[in-house]
């Protein structure tokens, strides 16, 4: 079988070489083969480093489980290609004028994979099992804001809140579970964890432990049958091996590294077999300062540090240019992102001036700034296993040395990193990353009430205006008002510099060129997976 | 003999208990908690959800209570349920991986012994010839080359460039539908590179050992006698020398038995082979206490049983041990 694939790809390649001679060099994103006619069938093999832990989404926290669950289940709402909420199992919804009640009108005629009708009973069950104290779930909090949930009829579901809570809507994107299979049973021991039944575009077929998960297209899916017949999730724990599998034709889709994107995938052979995509990932990397450390309590010092760091250089050195500068906590191009924000660009002169203003004037014999007899030195902590973060730290170390600040770098295994350093507030500065969620509510990271042990404002940032904006931003559904709050929030963060926001890396997926219909959008490429297809003559599985 | 056996078996009980205590202590001494690892700085998870998870796993109880609960279950051969979100019984997780690791290790071991012993013998009888020196260089290259690097090179050559062999995994897609012969052939193709790399890396120790014991034996007087009798060289080597030279090698074989269920993490990760090494490593990184402790206890148990069998074997073969201990 594998040999067949290779032979086929070799033929396709020969064909492509001929074609590209007269076709010239196009941009890598444009599919170089003709569009072909959409056809049902074939399979896609997607490579994954990790194995899913459980296919009951309410219990899972890992991304591999999410990859599968997203194809097997639906939520009431979901994010569309522009990261705006749209109806999924809920055809539409109404929010009461006071913002306290949301009524979902559910889609009719949707069936579970075992043929049973989907109704509001399933939604009510999902809500109840999530808030049940016996369910070991990480997702109960948004649902706990609900004071009343009811299902007046089979296709209406209504929830009420004590106060308007904007992230509530997003929380109903949670996968809806089949009540008829789970109600009255212990969810932690349910066989559905390894054999899920959902309403989604793909039906679970097989899970070979440690090797692969196989899904099959759902011919009765409410949005129509997906073109690609099978979805095969292949577990390859080593990224170099996965890349070789890709080149050998054993895998059709994986995410690659900047160096692979820039240096190893430019050959005619590769570009004829695969399409590369590039768009900003939903995450940013930052350097956070422990604000309880007197070293960083002065805003001017933090502004100086940001001015001394050359973010462009980090992006070029670490990401080979495959990313963009972060000025704040949102993804460029999304609705909450304030495009006018520019924080402190690279300017060592300004850095020196700001430090002098803050009292760091003298230098000792090693050329390190001294104030009150103490040299300016601190340690950047980062977690083990993330090469990009470590390299960024090294570049920062070099730049800060130039203005007279001595930086040490320590790399620590993740579990110890959290328990010994973050939780105890035992650090000077940390280099980490946050995921950027489609909903801009970042209360948990920046609100001054979130500085307790194991909470996420671990740098102890406290700004009354930020607190007010965070509360205001989450308590209205009015998009323009929310945008105003978050725009202002970004201005304050850019001025205060509690973090030095470093970069937003690019996501770099590669997909076999036989798949057509892929349309990159702000949400990435996966949002229209059910519309991807392989023309009949190119199908291999 | 029976008294000796009974004594040995009785001694196993406190030993096993000690092992569980040490295992439990070591696993819990590592910083970090399973709940932390699952949540891993997701801002959507509040302290309350964290407490809920802790309670679910019984991590809110004091350590000695946790230990007592675990040992009590263990006494009834219940290894508990994994702390991973799937919450499956630990024994199921181990059971689905042991056959893979075991068969892979046995195949590697057979190849390793099958190659190393002849290499050692030939190197000994042709001592200081080109063959001997060439083999020394060859096995030490195997010893010195990093396994993962060699593995990646071979995968690139045979998997990507030539396309003769699959790159990773155990089976091709759709292999479920194959007939048993084709299925076996498919699996053999998948295993060719991993097994060769594993065997190549471990040839050195065994073949050098075989060579030196063989050299010792060849110098013995009875070999000179055998030659003086006019026996053909072949008979001298294989009938008289080899039998004695093999004895210490058999001890080595015995020692490698407990290692059969242990897998190598690097190796399994590179070849995407879902074996025990990966399971254990993943368990440690996620602080999945029941899984880690389960694997350690099973490993310790097998080692103890292996030692017991080896001692019994010695006792059976050597009356001095039997009587010295028994009386």
Q: Is B47 on the interface with A (CB under 8 A)?
A: yes
Superfamily of domain A283-506: Dipeptide-binding Protein; Domain 3 (3.10.105.10)
What does the pLDDT look like over A44-66, one tens digit per residue? Answer: 999 998 889 899 999 887 889 99
Neighbour tally for B196: CB within 10 Å: 15
The answer to whether B30 faces chain A, any CB pair under 8 Å, is: yes
Residues of B with Cβ-Cβ distance to A189 under 8 angstroms? 87
By CB neighbour count within 10 A (0-12 exposed, 13-18 middle, 19+ buried), where does A464 fall? Answer: exposed
Name the 3-class secondary structure at A287.
strand
**Model confidence over A174-194: pLDDT tens digits?**
999 999 999 989 998 899 999
Stated pTM of the model: 0.81
Length of chain B: 327
Do the Cβ atoms of B31 and A416 come within 8 Å? Answer: yes
- How does residue A218 score in pLDDT terms, banded at 50, 70 and 90? very high
For the record, the structure tokens of A473 come out as: 């931003």
CB within 8 A of A210, min separation 6: which ones?
A: A51, A235, B96, B97, B274, B275, B278, B279
Q: How confident is the model at residue B56 (pLDDT cuts 50, 70, 90)?
A: confident
Minimal Cβ distance to A210: which of B36, B50, B278: B278
Dist. CA A62–CA B37, nearest whole Å: 10
Instruction: Tell me if B169 and A234 make a contact (CB, 8 A cut-off).
Output: yes
Residues 159-188 of B with CB under 8 A from A: 159-160, 163, 166-175
Q: Alpha-carbon distance A200 to A216, whole Å?
A: 11
Higher pLDDT, B174 or A515: A515
Q: How confident is the model at residue B237 (pLDDT cuts 50, 70, 90)?
A: confident
In the stretch 78-117 of chain B, residues with CB closer than 8 A to chain A read 84-88, 93, 96-97
> Do the Cβ atoms of B266 and B51 come closer than 8 Å?
no
pLDDT in tens, A76-129: 999 998 888 999 999 999 999 998 999 999 999 999 999 999 999 999 999 999
pLDDT at A7 over 80: no
Q: What are phi and psi of A144, to 5 degrees?
A: -70, -15
Query: Which segment of A180-189, A403-412, B165-174, B304-313 scores lowest on mean pLDDT?
Result: B304-313
- The DSSP 8-state label assigned to residue B169 in this structure reads S
The answer, yes or no, to whether residue A319 has pLDDT greater than 60, is yes
User: Is the C-alpha dihedral spanning A454, A67, A50, B56 positive or negative?
Assistant: positive
Instruction: Work out the pLDDT band at A308, boundaries 50, 70, 90.
Output: very high
A288: DSSP letter: E
| Pairwise pLDDT comparison (A522 vs A495), residue with the higher score | A495
The pLDDT tens digits for A116-151 are: 999 999 999 999 999 998 888 878 888 988 999 999
Residue A524 has pLDDT above 70, yes or no: yes
| B53/A418 Cβ within 8 A | no
Span A442-447, average pLDDT: 92
Q: Give how far B127 is from chain A: nearest CA, Å.
A: 41
Tell me what percent of the residues of chain A surpass a pLDDT of 90. 67
Tokens of A271: 């570009």
Using a pLDDT cut of 90, give the percent of chain B over it: 7
Chain A neighbours among B 214-273 (CB < 8 Å)? 268-272
The yes/no answer on whether domain A77-187 falls in CATH 3.40.50.980 is no
Kindly report each contact of residues B43-47 with a partner whose C-beta sits within 8 Å and lies 24 or more positions away, as own/partner: B43/A434, B43/A442, B43/A444, B43/A445, B43/A456, B44/A138, B44/A139, B44/A141, B44/A142, B44/A437, B44/A444, B45/A138, B45/A139, B45/A141, B46/A141, B46/A444, B47/A452, B47/A453, B47/A454, B47/A455
* Chain B residue with the nearest C-alpha to that of A412: B31
Residue A243 pLDDT exceeds 50 = yes
Question: ipTM score here?
Answer: 0.77
When pLDDT is averaged across residues B36-50 and rounded to a whole number, the result is 70
Q: Is A29 a residue whose pLDDT tops 60?
A: no
* Dist CA B73 CA B66 (whole Å): 11
The pLDDT score that the predictor gives to residue A423 is 82
pLDDT: which is higher, B225 or A10: B225
pLDDT at A505: 95
Q: Which residues of B touch A136 (CB under 8 A)?
A: 52-53, 56-57, 85, 87
Token pair recorded at residue A264: 């190893």
Which chain B residues in 279-298 lie under 8 Å from chain A, judged by CB atoms?
279, 285, 287
* Predicted confidence band of residue A19 (pLDDT cuts 50, 70, 90): very low
Predicted confidence at residue A21, as pLDDT, reads 34
pLDDT for the residue numbered B265? 80
Mean pLDDT to the nearest integer, A429-435: 93
Report the residue from B85, B172, B285 with minimal CB separation from A61. B85
Q: Is A137 on the interface with B (CB under 8 A)?
A: yes
Give start-end residues of each CATH 3.10.105.10 domain in chain A: 283-506
What is the distance between the alpha carbons of residues A493 and A269, in angstroms, rounded to a whole number?
A: 47
Closest CA to A440 of A87, A237, A103, A166: A166
Residues in A closer than 8 angstroms to B42, CB to CB, are 61, 138
Mean pLDDT of the A328-336 span: 91
pLDDT at A364 over 70: yes
Judged against a pLDDT cut of 90, whether residue A472 lies above it is answered with: yes
Say if residue B309's pLDDT is above 90: no
Indicate the DSSP class of residue B264.
-
User: What pLDDT is recorded for position B317?
Assistant: 64
What average pLDDT score do residues B220-234 get?
87
Quote the mean pLDDT of chain A: 89
* Torsion angle (degrees, nearest 10) of CA A423, A52, A435, B43: -40
Comparing A467-481, B42-56, B266-280, which segment has the lowest mean pLDDT?
A: B42-56
Spatial neighbors of B34 by CB under 8 A, at least 6 apart, are B57, B59, B83, B286, B287, B288, B289
Write out chain A residues lying below 8 Å of B40, CB-based: 61, 414, 418
Q: Which two tokens stand for residue A123?
A: 């939604």
The partner residue sitting opposite A454, judged by closest CB among B50, B156, B166, is: B50
Contacts of residue B278 in chain A, CB cutoff 8 Å?
Answer: 210, 237
For the domain with range B90-326, which CATH number is right: 3.40.50.970, 1.10.1740.10, 1.20.1070.10, 1.10.3720.10?
Answer: 1.10.3720.10
- With bands split at pLDDT 50, 70 and 90, how would you rate the model's confidence at B321? low
Pick A211's closest partner by Cβ from B36, B159, B170. B170
Chain B residues with CB under 8 Å of A455 CB are: 47
H or E stretch at A501:
strand A499-507
Question: Do A236 and A48 form a contact (C-beta atoms < 8 A)?
Answer: yes
Q: What distance in Å separates the CA atoms of residue B8 and residue B321, rounded to the nearest whole number?
A: 13
Query: Is A138 in contact with B31 (Cβ distance < 8 A)?
Result: no
Location of structure tokens 């924000």: A341
| Residue A487, pLDDT score | 95
A457-480 average pLDDT score: 93
Determine contact: B50 vs chain A, CB below 8 A. yes
What count of other Cβ atoms lies within 10 Å of the Cβ of residue A51? 21
**Residues of chain A neighbouring B39 (CB-CB closer than 8 A):** 61, 138
The pLDDT of residue B319: 65
What percentage of chain A carries pLDDT values higher than 70? 94
* Phi, psi at A325, each rounded to 5°: -65, 135
A196 touches A203 (CB < 8 A):
no
**Per residue in B249-295, pLDDT tens?**
777 776 777 777 777 788 888 888 888 888 888 888 888 889 999 98
User: Band of the pLDDT at A18, cuts 50, 70, 90?
Assistant: very low
Interchain CB contact of A14 with B (< 8 Å) = no
**B130-164 residue pLDDT tens:** 999 999 999 999 889 988 889 999 999 998 888 89
Cα dist. B251→B5, B113, B309 in Å?
21, 13, 12
Percent of chain B with pLDDT over 70: 91
Q: Decide if pLDDT at A435 tops 60.
A: yes
Question: d(Cα A89, Cα A199) in Å, to the nearest integer?
Answer: 9
Give residue limits of the domains in chain B: 2-75, 90-326
Q: What are phi and psi of A499, to 5 degrees?
A: -115, 155
Helix/strand/coil for A522: coil
Residue A17: predicted pLDDT: 34
Q: Which residues of A199-236 are buried (b: 16+ CB within 10 A; e: fewer)?
A: bbbbbbeebbbbbbbbbbbbeebbeeebbbbbbbbbbb
Give the chain B residue whose CA is nearest to the CA of A45: B173
Name which of A314, A319, A355, A291 is nearest A499 in CA terms. A291
Residue that wins the pLDDT comparison between A310 and B173 = A310
What pLDDT does A239 receive?
Answer: 87
Q: What is the pLDDT of residue B281?
A: 87
Q: Which of B291, B289, B45 is nearest to A61 (CA)?
A: B45
Q: Return the pLDDT at A1.
A: 36
Going by C-alpha positions, the residue among A453, A476, A475, A450 that lies closest to residue A461 is A450
Classify residue A407 as left (phi > 0), alpha (psi -120 to 50) or beta. Answer: beta
> Are A409 and A379 within 8 A, CB to CB?
yes
Q: What digits encode the pLDDT tens for the residues A402-423?
A: 999 999 999 988 878 888 888 8
């Amino acid at each position: 079988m594998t040999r067949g694939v290779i032979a086929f790809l070799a033929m396709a390649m020969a064909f492509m070489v001929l074609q590209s001679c007269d076709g010239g060099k196009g941009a890598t994103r444009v599919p170089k083969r003709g569009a072909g006619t959409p056809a049902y069938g074939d399979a896609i093999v997607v490579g994954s480093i990790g194995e899913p832990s459980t296919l009951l989404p309410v219990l899972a926290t890992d991304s591999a489980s999410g990859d599968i669950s997203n194809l097997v289940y639906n939520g009431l709402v979901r994010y569309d290609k522009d990261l705006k909420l749209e109806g999924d199992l809920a055809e539409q919804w109404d929010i009461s004028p006071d913002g306290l009640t949301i009524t979902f009108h559910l889609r009719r005629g949707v069936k579970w994979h075992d043929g049973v009708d989907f109704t509001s009973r399933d939604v009510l069950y999902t809500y109840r099992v999530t808030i049940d104290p016996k369910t070991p779930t990480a997702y109960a909090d948004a649902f706990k804001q609900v004071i009343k949930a009811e299902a007046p009829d089979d296709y209406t579901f209504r929830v009420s809140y004590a106060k308007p809570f904007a992230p509530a809507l997003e929380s109903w994107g949670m996968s809806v579970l089949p009540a008829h299979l789970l109600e009255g049973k212990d969810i932690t021991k349910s066989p559905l964890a390894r054999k899920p039944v959902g309403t989604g575009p793909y039906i679970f077929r097989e899970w070979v432990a440690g090797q692969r998960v196989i899904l099959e297209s759902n011919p009765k899916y409410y949005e129509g049958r997906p073109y690609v017949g099978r979805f095969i999730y292949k577990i390859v724990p080593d990224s170099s091996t996965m890349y070789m599998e890709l080149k050998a034709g054993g895998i059709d889709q994986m995410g690659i590294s900047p160096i692979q994107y820039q240096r190893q995938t430019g050959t005619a052979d590769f570009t004829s077999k695969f399409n590369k995509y590039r768009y900003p990932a939903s995450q940013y990397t930052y350097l956070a300062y422990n604000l309880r450390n007197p070293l960083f309590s002065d805003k001017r010092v933090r502004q100086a540090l940001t001015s001394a760091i050359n973010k462009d250089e980090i992006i070029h050195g670490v990401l080979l240019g495959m990313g963009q500068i972060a000025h704040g906590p949102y993804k460029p191009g999304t609705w909450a992102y304030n495009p006018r924000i520019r924080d402190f660009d690279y300017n060592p002169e300004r850095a020196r001036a700001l430090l002098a203003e803050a009292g760091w004037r003298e230098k000792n014999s090693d050329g390190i700034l001294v104030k009150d007899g103490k040299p300016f030195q601190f340690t950047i902590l980062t977690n083990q296993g993330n090469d990009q973060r470590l390299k960024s730290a090294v570049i920062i170390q070099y730049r800060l040395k130039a203005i007279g600040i001595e930086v040490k770098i320590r790399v620590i295994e993740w579990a110890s990193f959290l328990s010994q350093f973050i939780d105890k507030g035992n650090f000077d500065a940390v280099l980490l990353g946050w995921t950027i969620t489609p909903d801009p509510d970042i209360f948990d990271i920046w609100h001054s009430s979130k500085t307790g042990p194991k909470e996420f404002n671990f740098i102890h940032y406290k700004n009354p205006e930020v607190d007010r904006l965070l509360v205001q931003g989450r308590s209205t559904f009015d998009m323009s008002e929310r945008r105003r709050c978050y725009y202002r929030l970004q201005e304050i963060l850019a001025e205060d510099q509690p973090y030095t926001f470093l970069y937003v890396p690019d996501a770099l997926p590669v997909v076999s060129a036989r798949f057509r219909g892929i349309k990159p959008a702000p949400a990435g490429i996966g949002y229209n997976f059910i519309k991807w297809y392989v023309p009949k003559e190119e199908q291999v599985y | 003999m029976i008294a000796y056996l009974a004594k040995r078996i009785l001694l196993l009980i406190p030993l096993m208990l000690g092992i569980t205590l040490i295992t439990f202590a070591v696993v819990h001494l590592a910083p970090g908690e399973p709940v932390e690892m699952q949540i891993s700085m997701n801002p959507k998870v509040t302290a309350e959800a964290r407490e809920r998870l802790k309670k679910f796993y019984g991590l809110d109880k004091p350590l000695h209570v946790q230990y007592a609960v675990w040992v009590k279950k263990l006494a009834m051969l219940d290894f508990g349920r994994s702390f991973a979100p799937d919450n499956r019984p630990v024994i199921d997780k181990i059971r689905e991986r042991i056959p893979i690791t075991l068969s892979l290790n046995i195949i590697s071991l057979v190849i390793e012994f099958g190659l190393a012993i002849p290499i050692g013998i030939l190197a000994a009888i042709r001592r200081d010839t080109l063959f001997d020196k060439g083999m020394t260089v060859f096995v030490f290259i195997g010893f010195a080359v990093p396994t993962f690097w060699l593995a990646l090179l071979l995968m690139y050559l045979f998997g990507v460039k030539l396309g003769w062999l699959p790159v990773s995994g155990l089976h091709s897609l759709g292999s479920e539908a194959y007939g048993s012969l084709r299925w076996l052939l498919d699996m053999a193709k998948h295993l060719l590179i991993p097994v060769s790399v594993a065997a190549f890396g471990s040839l050195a120790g065994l073949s050098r050992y075989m060579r030196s014991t063989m050299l010792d034996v060849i110098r013995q007087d009875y070999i000179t006698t055998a030659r003086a009798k006019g026996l053909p060289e072949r008979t001298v080597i294989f009938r008289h020398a080899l039998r004695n030279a093999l004895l210490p090698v058999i001890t080595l074989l015995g020692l490698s038995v407990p290692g059969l269920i242990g897998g190598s993490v690097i190796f399994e990760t590179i070849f995407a082979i879902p074996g025990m090494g990966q399971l254990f490593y993943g368990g440690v990184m996620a602080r999945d206490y029941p899984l880690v402790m389960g694997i350690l206890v099973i490993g310790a148990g097998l080692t103890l049983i292996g030692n017991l069998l080896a001692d019994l074997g010695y006792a059976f073969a050597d009356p001095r041990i039997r009587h010295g201990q028994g009386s």
